[in-house]
Amino acid sequence: MRIDLLTLFPEFFGSPLSQSMLQRAQNLGAVEFRVVNLRDYTVDRHQVTDDRPFGGGPGMVMKIEPLVAAIRAARREDPEVKVILMSPQGAVFTQDQARELAGRSHLMLICGHYEGVDDRIKYYIDGMLSIGDYILTGGEIPALIVVDAVTRLLPGVLGGEGAVDEESFQTGLLEYPQYTRPREFEGHVVPQVLLEGNHRVIEEWRWQQTLRQTVERRPDLLAKAKLKPEDRKFIESLALRPEEDR
Cα 132 from Cα 130, distance rounded (Å): 6
Q: Is 120 exposed, middle or buried (0-12, 13-18, 19+ CB in 10 A)?
A: exposed
Same domain for 45 and 91?
yes
Contact between 7 and 36 (Cβ < 8 Å) = yes
Domain boundary among 99, 127, 151: 151
Same domain for 97 and 141?
yes
Q: What is the pLDDT of residue 131?
A: 97
- 42: in domain: yes
Condensed to tens digits (0 to 9), the pLDDT of residues 200-237 reads: 999 999 999 999 999 999 999 999 899 999 999 999 99
For Cα atoms 87, 88, 90, give the angle at the middle one, nearest 5 degrees. 70
- 170: in domain: no
Strand partners, 127: 84
Contact between 157 and 30 (Cβ < 8 Å) = yes
Q: What is the pLDDT of residue 172?
A: 86
- 161: in domain: no
Q: What is the pLDDT of residue 244?
A: 54
Which alpha helices (DSSP H) does 1-80 contain, by range? 20-28, 64-77
- 131: in domain: yes
Ordered mean pLDDT values, 10 residues apiece, the chain (246 residues): 98 97 97 98 95 93 97 98 96 96 98 92 97 94 98 90 57 91 95 96 96 94 92 91 58
Q: What is the pLDDT of residue 239?
A: 85
Domain that holds residue 202: 184-245
Contact between 143 and 174 (Cβ < 8 Å) = no
Q: How many domains does the chain have?
A: 2
Residue 223's CATH number: 1.10.1270.20
Q: What is the pLDDT of residue 43?
A: 93
- 165: in domain: no
Residue 114's CATH number: 3.40.1280.10
Which alpha helices (DSSP H) does the chain contain, by range? 20-28, 64-77, 95-102, 140-151, 199-217, 229-238
Q: What is the pLDDT of residue 162?
A: 46
- 156: in domain: no
